[in-house]
Structure 1
Amino acid sequence: MKFFEDRMRFGIFMGPYHRPTLNPLVAFQQDMQTVINLDELGFDEAWIGEHHSGGIETIGSPELFIAAAAERTKRIKLGTGAITLPYHNPLWVADRIVQLDYQTRGRMMFGVAPGQLVQDAQMMGLHPSQNRQRLQEALEVIIPLFKGERVTRKTDWFDLQDARLQMLPYSNFDMATVSVLSPSGPLLAGRHGMGMLSVAATDPDGIEKLLGHWEIMEQEAASHGQPKPSRKDWRLMGPMHLAETMEQAKEDVRYGLSLLEDYRAHINPAPDIDWWDIDKIVDMLNESGAAVIGTPEMARAQINRLIEKSGGFGTYLLMGVDWARYPATVRSHQLFAEEVMPYFNGLGDPLRKSFEEVMATGYAGAQLTAEAQASMLQKYKRGSV
């Protein structure tokens, strides 16, 4: 029996993005504490990235981080967001993921991507144009391995002979491909029956591609005999920093917004603007819908806009980025949990309805209580109690 329809879920997609001047010991501690905090606040999932250059995204192995986070949290799901499959032998990736599935007792999620940072590929002697083909070849091996099949496959970067896993998955964990602006993400997701994680959902170009990407995914799934994709397996990511007032939010992000957005403009196509004019950048991000820097009310409006543009999705992910100092970021997550999540997952609806029913009675309830108290007092005076 189902008591309610599937609720919208919430989480975070953590590269993570830190200022390169931040002590890495502190960065790792803050990242871990963030996941612990989100678990306590009722967030549903956290996705952890893999990066090896740039000085900003400091986690090189999401599996190591997830193994540690699983020991410090109770219920939040933990995903690789994402493993860069072109850099790893697919047999060993599958083996590590299954181990992680057991260690987390089924709280692990498997996210994959071709790789974002050019320097990462170059250090391995690869051209970024090779990565998407390698991603496809790796998935063609990993998924059969998860199913218990034996795999013999030789490419120009791995050679597997009668390969198999000595342990099969503990759970039916979620799998997702990262999608940006190109159709490669939805093509892979549909072809392999995976979920889709749209990390450019609030980009002015990306938001207009959401419906098209979903149609590509559906068509590809149908042509490869995969089940019809479910929107509950679709995750959309968008950056937000929230505060009690717009003015406070803008003041908070003076800490890291310009530096980190300028860095992102060096690794991804972006508008040719002065990223160090903080007031202009905040206005541009808010007005274009690329981000929310403001209040919980603005956050609710942004998610409603994404629902309308996409036709519906299962999970909204915040972006793990140090636009503000850590205490202000913690407060932003608290505000999101307090004033945004209940609006969409329905947990606050019964409380609001109950409150409204009481208030609609005017002061009749108080009058009845006063009469009951007076009656009891009279009985006491008469000695009848």
Structure 2
Amino acid sequence: MRLGYFAMPMHPMHRPWAETLDEDREAIILCDKLGFHDAFIGEHLTDKLENINNSLLFLATLIHATKQIRLATGTSNLSQMHPTLIASHAAMFDQLAKGRFIFGISPGSLRCDAEVLGTLDEDRGKLFAEAIDVILEIWKQNPPYRIDLPGNRFKVSTEKTEALEIGLGYLGKPYQRPRPEVVGTVVAPYSKGVVLMGQRDFHPLSANFLQGKWARTHWANYAEGKQSVGEVAEVADWRLARTVFVADDEATAQRYGIEDANSPYRFYYRQIMTKFARINRLGVFKQDRDQPDSEITLEYVLRSLVICGTVNSVVDQILALREITGDFGEIVYAGMDWVEPALAKRSMELMATEVMPRVNAAIAQGQSSRPREVAAN
């Protein structure tokens, strides 16, 4: 099992923007030193707490500050920009990173982002689907392109103005051929979008605020998509994000991970719950679809979704999670605000150097799991 990193990121509003950007960079540089496989960074335009408004721009500052970690958009919000621009910017990033790039994609669900861009009344799911089709065509084709897909609003051509003999009319291609790995973040239980991911060889990343029993439905749908095109799903292609805090002693783990009023995990889930309540999506936190919203308290969410404890305890909790979800290829460590930087860094160090070797030793000894049967939706 690989170890990855994901951050939205999310910081208290009172903290200076430049300071939090520096902290987010420091976290990924530390991930690189500790041997994390990849680092996904999210983006929002209009969220003061989620401070990165262009993940590619932010990650570009890390290309030469890191050596081996793969730098991933987590995600590029495809409904917010013309796909020609996204395809070109991502291709140049991949060239700069010499292939250390993962293209994480999503529609972009924040309504205030859509309002500020004038797309509040648009079907952002449709925009997303049209955009990714065009991006992949741009990477596949050569000029003059002539991209005019049925039912797709985005038309791409340089036919009228090209002068190929002097270099005019070209769009850049990625360093990785035929394209970078494409990853989609998945939140909804039984998401049918994961079937489409399997069909197109995109890879799912199940969100850290989704209960394990619902995350396992993503694997079933991904495998269904693969099977429909005559392929076999690879466990290595499924990432599962979790909220983890590892400490040298149990008291510190419980204090910083759950109990303290200033716990960054408490702050994080309070914000996530508030945002999801606004759009009537508290269901992602539920163990049962009939569970009333009144039971979805902050304490309930923290106790059911935060993996925290000493090294041995966290190892046991990750292995127990695998008994619910079945095998997955990568556990993605969710980054938090560094309320106490020494503890935050120590947790990442323990996760990489102590927890993961023990988890993988247990897997090697035969404690592997297979997804259990999942009831139909």
Work out whether residues 152 and 162 of structure 1, in 8 Å CA contact, stay in contact via their aligned partners in 2: no
Report the Cα distance in structure 1 between the residues aligned to 2:61 and 2:294, rounded to whole angstroms. 40
The corresponding residue for 1:210 is 215
After alignment, is 152-161 or 89-98 more displaced?
Answer: 152-161
The corresponding residue for 2:187 is 180
Structure 2 matches for 1:200-349, cutoff 5 A?
A: 200=208, 203-204=210-211, 207-223=212-228, 225=229, 227-253=231-257, 254=260, 255=262, 256-268=264-276, 269-270=281-282, 272=294, 281=299, 284-285=300-301, 287-288=303-304, 290-322=305-337, 324-346=339-361
1:49 aligns to 2:42 (yes or no): yes
The corresponding residue for 2:173 is 168
Structure 2 matches for 1:145-156, cutoff 5 A?
A: 145-148=138-141, 150=145, 151-153=147-149
Match of 1:94 among 82, 87, 90: 87
Q: Match of 2:68, SS? A: coil
Show CA shifts across 1:63-85 (max 9, x none). Answer: 11111111100111110010010
Q: Which runs of 5+ in 2 are unaligned?
A: 160-168, 283-292, 366-377
Q: Which runs of 5+ in 1 are unaligned?
A: 1-7, 351-385
Work out whether residues 153 and 160 of structure 1, in 8 Å CA contact, stay in contact via their aligned partners in 2: no
Describe the shift of the 1:192–1:84 C-alpha distance in structure 2 as closer, same or farther (beyond 3 A): same
Describe the shift of the 1:239–1:211 C-alpha distance in structure 2 as closer, same or farther (beyond 3 A): closer
Query: In percent, how many aligned pairs have the same letter?
Result: 26
The corresponding residue for 1:193 is 201
Report the Cα distance in structure 2 between the residues aligned to 1:184 and 1:114, rounded to whole angstroms. 15
The corresponding residue for 1:362 is none
Opposite residue 249 of structure 1, the aligned amino acid is: A
Structure 1 position 179, deviation (Å) = 0.7
Q: Larger Rg: 1 or 2?
A: 1
Describe the shift of the 1:65–1:298 C-alpha distance in structure 2 as closer, same or farther (beyond 3 A): same
Structure 1 position 176, deviation (Å) = 0.8
Which protein has the bigger helix share? 1
1:124 aligns to 2:124 (yes or no): no
Structure 1 position 259, deviation (Å) = 3.2
Work out whether residues 285 and 292 of structure 1, in 8 Å CA contact, stay in contact via their aligned partners in 2: no
Work out whether residues 260 and 323 of structure 1, in 8 Å CA contact, stay in contact via their aligned partners in 2: no
